[in-house]
Amino acid sequence: MGSEIVLTADRSGGAPGARGHDCRGRVYDAESGANLFTTLEPPNTGLPDRVMFCQTGNLQAPCVSSEHDNALYARSYHPGGVNGLMGDGAVRFVSDNVDRILFLALGSRNGKEVMDGF
């Protein structure tokens, strides 16, 4: 249901697209898709986030600019994984090495997957 994300190091604000303005994590404008995250890749993937306004310079939050194909991956500064919020309100640490199919199932809204032992 929810996950940590990592923003760029410079969060000084400014107009969209201005230096230091990182849209990842904002909730007031869902147009950019920056308030959602995907489980298509495991936590802390090496693939860059794809967001409307991308500020580079932070290797832990790589990104590329994209106006249509947005993807925000679960990331954290914790070694080895991220904290994730489950639909029942529980918070669990999800390892970077989580089974990819399991992580994809955790992000499913109505897939009827059974996740024994998680």
> 41-74: per-residue pLDDT in tens?
999 999 988 877 776 665 567 888 777 778 889 9
Mean pLDDT of the chain: 76
Q: Output the pTM of the full model.
A: 0.75
Q: What's the order of all strands across the beta sheet hosting 2-3?
A: 2-3, 81-85, 91-95
Instruction: Give the residue-averaged pLDDT of 20-25.
Output: 58
Position 16 pLDDT exceeds 70: no
Alpha carbons within 13 angstroms on the beta-carbon side of residue 37 total: 28
Residue spans of the domains in the chain: they are 1-107
Within 13 Å and on the Cβ side, how many CA atoms surround 94?
A: 31
Q: 60: which residues sit within 8 A by CB, 6+ positions away?
A: 6, 75, 77
Report the pLDDT value the prediction gives residue 50, as an integer from 0 to 100: 83
Q: Cβ distance 48 to 59 under 8 Å? A: no
| 40 vs 52, more confident | 40
pLDDT at 118: 65
3-state secondary structure 88-104: CCCEEEEECCCCHHHHH
